[in-house]
Amino acid sequence: MKIIMLGAPGAGKGTQAKKISEKYQIPHISTGDIFRSNIKEGTELGKKAKGYMDQGALVPDELTIGMLIDRIQKEDCSDGYVLDGFPRTIPQAESLTKAISEMGQKIDFAINVDVPDENIINRMSGRRACISCGATYHIVYNPSKVPGVCDVCGAELVLRDDDKPETVKKRLSVYHDQTQPLIEYYEKEGVLVNVDGTQELNKVFSDIVSILGA
């Protein structure tokens, strides 16, 4: 099953993509996580991406498209994948459609996790991310067992650099300008499904499972 997660920053794409990946045994591929691990490792790609990310801007398509297409051509993607944070622009969507059709594949579902802007700032200010494995939590809605400590690996949890309210506002405006048009793109492709992302996170997931099939 080949799945794309759509939705505003903080809508819960990463949270739901992780649950989908575990239930359906397909890789969870997050371009945000790939960039963050490159930043942590100090690679050339990480150095280039960091400036854009800290400003709440998108990393240019030239740096993003090739990286993602290479990733989905790997062996572990032959049964499918869940893409989280890609595509984010019309050129990215068109490149993806072209690349996978050359591989004889198509996207089965583009899941739009719908959350109004008013809820987003609150979610982002309470999000905490693991400095080591990237797992995410929310201090109220999805707390770790021990405050400030990752359940998965025991490392420290911090506020992401781009989760400061000023940067979140910029990311939301970039989302409306550049990413929201993808909803129409995938509607035309006949694969768009909408879920109400304001619900409790397990309810959001059960709605997704009822769409994907148990």
User: Which residues bind to Zn ion, rule: CB under 5 A?
Assistant: 130, 132-133, 135, 150, 152-153, 155
Q: Based on C-alpha coordinates, what's the Rg of the chain?
A: 16
DSSP 143-208: --SSTTB-TTT--BEE--GGGSHHHHHHHHHHIIIIITHHHHHHHHTT-EEEEETTS-HHHHHHHH
Q: Please, which residue, 63 or 135, has the CB nearer to Zn ion? A: 135
**CB under 8 Å to 50, separation ≥6 — which residues?**
39
Q: Is 7 in the site for ligand AP5 (CB under 6 A)?
A: yes
Supply the minimum distance, in Å, between the C-beta of residue 91 and ligand AP5.
Answer: 10
Query: Helix (H, G, I), strand (E, B), or coil: what is residue 74?
Result: coil
Give the residue nearest to ligand AP5 (CB).
32
13 in catalytic set: yes
The site for ligand AP5 (CB under 6 A) is made up of: 7, 9-15, 31-32, 35, 52-53, 56-59, 64, 85-86, 88, 92, 123, 126-127, 136-138, 141-142, 162, 171, 197, 199-201, 204
Catalytic residues: 13, 88, 127, 160, 171
